Amino acid sequence: MTLSQRPASRFFAAFYRWNLQTQRPQPCAIASQCGRDSKNQAVRSCTPRNYHATRLLRQQRQPEPQAHKAPSKADANAIVDGSCRGGERIFRPVSSAHEEGAPEQPGPDEQHTPLEPSESELEAAKLKSSVRGLMRNVPSSVAVITVASIDPDTNKHVPMGVAVSSLRTVTLDPPTISFNIKEPSKTLDAIRAANGLFRVHFPGADRDGATIVELFCRGNHPDAYSLRSKDLNLHIPEREKNTSVTSSLAPQIWEDSILAAMECTVTHELPVADHVILVARVDSLEQKISKQSTIIYVNGGYQRSNGTPITTHSHNQFTPSEGSRSVWDYPLFPGAQERREYMEQIKSIVKGNPAYYENPDKTTYKSLEFSLPYPSTAFGINLEPLVTECRQEMGLEDERKADFKDHKVLSDFYGQLSPSTMGQIVDRARRLVVADSRFLSQDYRSFLHHLGVSPASKNLLPSDIMEPLRARGLANDFEPRRGHYQSTTFDIQKVEQIEFQLRRYLRTMKYEAALKTSLENAMEAIGEKTAAAYFFKKSRTRLLTQAHPHVFDTSAGIDIAGHLTQEEVRVVMSRIINRLHVRSLKDFRRVFMADWHEILRRIGVNPTITGMDVEFLMGKIKHLYYSTEHYHDFPRVIDKMLEPWFAKNVSWDHLEERVKQFVQKIPLRATTWSKRDRLAAMGLDWEATVTLPKQDSLPGSQQQPLYQGHILDILVAKELKNHYGKGTEEENAGIAKYLKETYNFDVQAKPIQYTSAELASRSSSDEMQEAMMASRNVDVSTAESSSEIMQEAVIGNSGRVQGADARRIRYRPQPKIKGPEKSKPRTEWTSYTLDGEKKQ
């Protein structure tokens, strides 16, 4: 006989079944602090809060996603398909996907045997694409959500927030709003941790309002926080410091473009797929008296209510996404390892957002490039084959045209192309054309891809390839076209014609005017399509140098050009930092936004140099400026960046070795460069010091600054004297001229001939006259000892030798000392000398 169930037991059993259906699977208020025990469900510790979750309704009965399909990562709450796609996007290496809560990676069998999509899945994908295309053209308002958050590392309040386009009014009795946000999300975790309190800001329809939205579309990470704090007037309230603050303690944007702000409290959470709909009660409202409308987002851009587009102050190149090693943490300068790491990070972004891998087009690639912290083309990463590779890894088809299917993700040649690299490219082009001349009729971009060359390579012109081919008889002679007509195809021969016309047009105007002329306007002037400007975006400076060579020659002060040595790389870095005036905020802001090509020209460097990625250096300097909270810390951050390149202190022996190597490698540079450039070439900071060995005869401190006094000048001059006769004729002539003009030292003179003291027929006045003449005709045979150089150098530093006399050789003849053993005149040196050892 079955025992009857007690009423209490029946009640708790029913309550348990009811609880399973009504409670959300992930009830924790602080999602980021909970661990996971499986890929489908998270076990979290629950924190009480004053709002509840609703039932999942029919979603629990929906089928699980297929193993071969990547989970959807689209952030529907953020701006869709535009520059702000994925306001909370995670930017991380593929290896960390599981740690962030992504599904586990499929096994080997699953990876190599993807399932064919069924007809229903194809229909669902088609419907999804159609809905996305429709909603892109539906205007939506934009709001910025901020929430109180404390950085666990610094224990300081940070401007946490996100821009959303899904905010709507639910009811006015009581005033209630709703918006949706994607999981996982730092902003959502912070709202839960703040017991559902947050603040909503409504930006106005102007450029400043669009900029505010942009600043909250780049995720939440230290770089984004620093950029928001630097560019916005933010107030982050703290309860312990001010008792009159708002209840949410959320960051407040005090900008004129903010038309209204709300303080809200979450009342409901409704999980829907990978998103959560938040319903919140409006607790208070602050509003300006203004007739201006709020900003509108439609079709990938910002607009006013009358349809006028709004541009933004772009900061995309300085805000790497959260969850990954920042590209700006790479060393100067990135190599093959960093390049591949960056490629994997981009792939993780593509796989994490269906908008990038579902039906990609030109707009998709532009949007993806815009969202990256640093241009992918600068690393020779081609986005179109990269997206295709991601699609193939996810079991999707390759939808590219046949001509583009053999393009590689990583180009063999990219960035600044050195002379040796150009030789390899020309050799590949020769082999291609010998095999099939029809390659010259192919689209220029495709032709470059066949050569393994990134189309975004800097300063590459079609003539660089065509002229060597003509020299070998593999291409027809170049004949400039006559008249203006627009090209319908863009093979390498047609692009070379545009190059010729463009260079000739730039020659018709002064350099200052040519510098300000955009390529699009230049294309219109020569009768070409503006789209052809794409082929010359990275070679514009090269065209300017060819059109106005007098601006970039030695007479204009340009002393560094071509492929750089390591010594020249350090000199260019030193000149750039000196030009930017990093220790003065006013001067730095005046200079650093200028085009880096023009900065190079003004510091005596040809902008077409190779062997150094100046674009990455300038980008990193700008990033450090934006991410440094206080400007007085900025010079110290720059010094830390340069530590691997410039030493602060050296020993005497090490200094002598550096000078010797510098003079032997580039002796002519040692005769023309300034003291700052010499120090930089030797890998020494401008304020570097030398530690001198302790000697009783040396006065003052044992550490001497190299930018003061004559220590560096003495060592360089001594090494130049020793190097004379070992270099080329040009180097020997340059050394002789430098020593003669600077020190009145004649390296080509004959040795001093000392006369015997037994010749009594000569008077003392004759010998004095001979000694005076000998001072203008000095022999260089043996170098002085290091101790003598140090002593004379320190004397020069202490101020005993001043003025122009400190830069020339002087000696004072002494009267003869009687006796057969000491009949030769003795020379006493009163300042440093380039002569041999002292005569006694």
Provide the 8-state DSSP code for 565: P
Task: Report the distance separating Cα 29 and Cα 194, nearest Å.
Answer: 9
| pLDDT surpassing 60 at residue 481 | yes
Residue 699 has pLDDT above 60, yes or no: no
Q: How far apart are CA 510 and CA 361, in angstroms?
A: 40
The answer to whether residue 358 scores a pLDDT higher than 70 is yes
> Are the C-beta atoms of residues 797 and 839 closer than 8 Å to each other?
no
| Cβ-based burial of 241 (10 A; exposed 0-12, middle 13-18, buried ≥19) | exposed
Cβ pair 11, 169 in contact under 8 A: no
Percent of the chain with pLDDT over 70: 69
Q: What is the largest CA-CA distance in the chain?
A: 152
Residue listed under structure tokens 């025990």: 37
Give yes or no for residue 692 having a pLDDT over 70: yes
In the chain, the N- to C-terminal Cα span, in Å, equals 130
- Checking 125-129 for CB contacts under 8 A at 24+ apart, the result is 125/358, 128/354, 128/358, 129/358, 129/359
Kindly indicate the confidence band of residue 316, based on its pLDDT and cuts at 50, 70 and 90: very low
* Lowest mean pLDDT across 18-22, 66-70, 781-785: 66-70
Give the three-class secondary structure for 326.
coil
At residue 9, the pLDDT reads 58
pLDDT value of residue 770? 57
The CA distance from 90 to 737, in Å, is 62
pLDDT at 518 over 60: yes
Number of CB atoms found within 10 A of residue 628's CB: 17
Task: Rounding to the nearest 10 degrees, give the CA dihedral for residues 220, 133, 207, 619.
Answer: 50
Provide mean pLDDT across the span 625-632.
Answer: 82
pLDDT tier for residue 240 given thresholds of 50, 70 and 90:
low
Higher per-residue pLDDT: 622 or 824: 622
**What does the pLDDT read at residue 366?**
82
Of residues 795 and 90, more confidence is placed in 795
Kindly report the length of the chain: 840
Cis status, amide bond into 174, omega within 30 of 0: yes
Tens digit of pLDDT for each residue in 570-592? 999 999 999 999 998 888 888 88
∠ CA 715-716-717, nearest 5°, is: 90
Q: What angle do the packed helices 614-627 and 566-580 form, to 10 degrees?
A: 40
In angstroms, rounded to a whole number, what is the distance separating the alpha carbons of residues 570 and 627? 25
pLDDT at residue 827 is higher than 50 = no
d(C-alpha 270, C-alpha 255), whole Å: 33
pLDDT at site 679: 96
The position carrying tokens 């082999």 is 431
Tokens of 365: 């690639």
Domains of the chain: 134-318 (2.30.110.10), 328-404 (no CATH), 419-552 (no CATH), 556-627 (no CATH), 648-829 (no CATH)
Residue whose token pair is 């950085």 = 151
Residue type, 508: T
What pLDDT, on a 0 to 100 scale, did the predictor assign at position 103?
33
As a dihedral over the C-alpha atoms of residue 691, residue 695, residue 696, residue 700, rounded to 10 degrees, the angle is: -10
pLDDT in tens, 767-793: 555 544 544 444 443 445 555 655 555
Mean pLDDT confidence for 805-812 = 39
Quote the CA–CA distance of 698 and 425 in Å, as a whole number. Answer: 59
Residues of the chain by 3-state class (helix, strand, coil), percent to 5: 45, 15, 45
Question: Residue 569 and residue 163: Cα distance in Å, rounded?
Answer: 42
Q: What is the pLDDT of residue 427?
A: 95
349: helix, strand or coil: helix
Residue 771, helix vs strand vs coil = helix
pLDDT digits (tens, 9 = 90+) for 31-41: 333 433 333 33
pLDDT class for 108, splitting at 50, 70, 90? very low
pLDDT at 511: 94
pLDDT at 157 (0 to 100): 87
DSSP-derived 3-state class of residue 286: strand
Task: Please give the pLDDT value at position 629.
Answer: 74
**What's residue 17's pLDDT?**
60
* pLDDT per residue as tens digits for the range 170-193: 988 889 999 998 888 889 999 999
| Amino acid, single-letter form, for residue 98 | H
- Residue percentage of the chain with pLDDT more than 90: 36
Cβ atoms 158, 72 nearer than 8 A: no
pLDDT for 246 equals: 66
The confidence band for 640, taking pLDDT boundaries of 50, 70 and 90, is very high
Q: Can you give the three-state secondary structure of 405-442, one letter per residue?
A: CCCCCECCECCECCHHHHHHHHHHHHHHHHHCHHHHHC
User: Which run of H or of E encompasses 172?
Assistant: strand 168-172
Q: Which DSSP string corresponds to 446-473?
A: HHHHHTTB-TT-BT--THHHHHHHHHTT
Q: Residue 303's beta-bridge partner residues?
A: 296, 309
100 vs 283: which has the higher pLDDT: 283
Show Cβ contacts of residue 317 under 8 Å, excluding neighbours closer than 6 positions: 373, 374, 375, 619, 622, 623
Higher pLDDT, 797 or 522: 522
Mean pLDDT across the stretch 695-703?
A: 61
Q: What is the pTM of this model?
A: 0.60
Contact of 144 with 203, CB cutoff 8 Å: yes
Query: For position 371, what pLDDT does the model report?
Result: 77
89 in Cβ contact with 77 (< 8 Å): no
Is the distance from CB of 304 to CB of 257 less than 8 angstroms? no
Q: Is the pLDDT of residue 227 over 60?
A: yes
Rounded to an integer, the average pLDDT of 204-220 is 86
101 pLDDT above the threshold of 70: no
Q: Is a pLDDT exceeding 80 seen at residue 287?
A: yes
pLDDT (0 to 100) of residue 704: 87
What pLDDT score was predicted for residue 431? 94
Instruction: Report which DSSP code applies to 594.
Output: S
On whether the CB atoms of residues 551 and 507 are closer than 8 A, the answer is no
pLDDT per position as a tens digit, 591-604 = 887 889 999 999 99
pLDDT at 262 over 70: yes
How confident is the prediction for the chain on average, in pLDDT? 76
**228 confidence band (pLDDT: 50, 70, 90):** confident
User: In sequence order, which residues have a C-beta less than 8 Å from that of residue 428 and are 6 or more positions away?
Assistant: 451, 452
Give the model's pLDDT for residue 746: 85
pLDDT of residue 237: 81
- Alpha carbon distance 72, 322 (integer Å): 19
In 692-753, which ranges are E strands? 703-705
DSSP designation for 522 = H
Alpha-carbon gap, residue 374 to 760, rounded angstroms:
84
